[in-house]
Structure 1
């Protein structure tokens, strides 16, 4: 077998190894809230034309199409699959899911805004609505002490019922962000696509 054929086979094996690594990562995160799976996209490498189309093959016959040999394949890119995940009912009033498009906005430690679809939220010691990692949801929403009930409407209005109060108070509004090019988001871990 020629070294050229071995090289072509090697590119195919490398491509399949990369594909298997991506599939393994997708499987490892199948139960991660807000996780979006990746898909590997491949392209063929250049073709070597052995005999061009139209070349005479005998006295009265021409080659109908070119005879060429491919040089293998390589990973072109990976793309996130921004499909709707499963919505799971929990007993935590601060667990919310986005149905449709959009991302929650979160203040990162370096002062930038991060974006996530993971709606597993909590109340921090100082009353701020945060992610499970402690990042403050933006715009900041303060949940007062002594709350007996928390409601988050389908429009994102956050209302609380404080012990002894007759009516619920609105304490904030969740605002979603969206992107024209979701494929341009770069994952940074902890269910943050960017």
Structure 2
């Protein structure tokens, strides 16, 4: 009887974690380039109750060996790096990645990665993210720049007042990983490489499997709100069922305690 209480409690706990994850996905439904995450679960240790004779069968020659599980646990929260919808912004410093790849940015002299291409020009005339992190390799924008052109291949050019020819400012390179879900999410649309993700492979957009850049566009999150709401309903009902198991087990224990010899 006690095992049913523990198993149901573990079920309620993982459904609570599921709801927390769904809430985070829905909260970021309009976050630029946000990637949704999903929970993964495993069943817990099984206890053998023996076969139909009431004895354990270590050689497993009897298929009717009774095994009772101990519930479930959450083991991973996996990011899904599927492509988000590209939305036109009509702003020349907005750049979306159409396909695989991450922008490289510097945070406290360390290289991190992001899909958020809503760039700005800081006081040093460098291209930076909305949080002020410089793009890597650095792109410096001259004074009196009238407009900036970012090609699909990552080439950044500027039309400077008084000059007839476009001035090439540099190139945006993209990083790809063997195992993207292995990246560590740090918040602020920033990721850090880990041993699980592998080392980044750097290449120009459109080369070696990298996506291409789309100027005047931003990538929306890949959260499907309808799908998340369905998952929320399922998690709520599963939570209710597990709580009912606890109530039923408690009632059975109460009946046992009230037995009169």
TM-score (norm 1): 0.91
Aligned equivalents of 2:156 and 2:50: distance in 1?
Answer: 70
Match of 1:99 in 2: 98
Query: Is 182-191 or 12-21 further displaced after alignment?
Result: 182-191
Whole-angstrom distance in 1 between the partners of 2:169 and 2:66: 70
Separation in 2, partners of 1:149, 1:20: 46
Tell me the CA shift for residue 49 of structure 1: 2.0
Match of 1:191 in 2: 189
User: How far did residue 22 of structure 1 move?
Assistant: 0.6
Match of 1:152 in 2: 150
1:63 CA drift (Å): 6.2
Distance 1:33 1:162 in 2: 30
The alignment covers a number of residue pairs equal to 186
Shift of residue 165 of structure 1? 1.5
Deviations 1:35-58 (A, max 9, x none): 111110000001122234xx459x
The aligned counterpart of 2:83 is 84
- State the alpha-carbon separation in 2 of the partners of residues 192 and 107 from structure 1: 11
Separation in structure 2 between the aligned mates of residue 64 and residue 132 of structure 1, nearest angstrom: 62
Runs of 4+ off more than 6 Å: none
Q: Please, which runs of 5 or more residues in structure 2 have no aligned partner? A: 55-60, 193-261
Deviation at 1:64, TM superposition (A): 4.2
Coordinate RMSD, CA, aligned: 1.6
Counterparts in 2 of 1:167-182, with a 5 A limit?
Answer: 167-182=165-180
In the alignment, is residue 114 of structure 1 matched against residue 101 of structure 2? no
Q: Which residue of 1 aligns with 2:73?
A: 74
Partner of 2:47: 48
Note the C-alpha offset of 1:18. 0.5
Alignment-derived partner of residue 22 in structure 1:
21
| 3-state SS of paired residue (1:193) | strand
**Shift of residue 77, structure 1, vs aligned partner:** 0.9
Matched residues in 1 for 2:38 and 2:188: separation? 19
SS in 2 for 1:74: strand
What is the distance in 1 between the residues matched to 2:110 and 2:124? Answer: 21
Question: 3-state DSSP class of the match of 2:184?
Answer: coil
- Which of 148, 154, 159 lines up with 1:161 in the alignment? 159
| TM-score normalised per structure 2 | 0.68
Structure with higher helix content: 2
Structure 1 spans left out of the alignment, 5+ residues: none
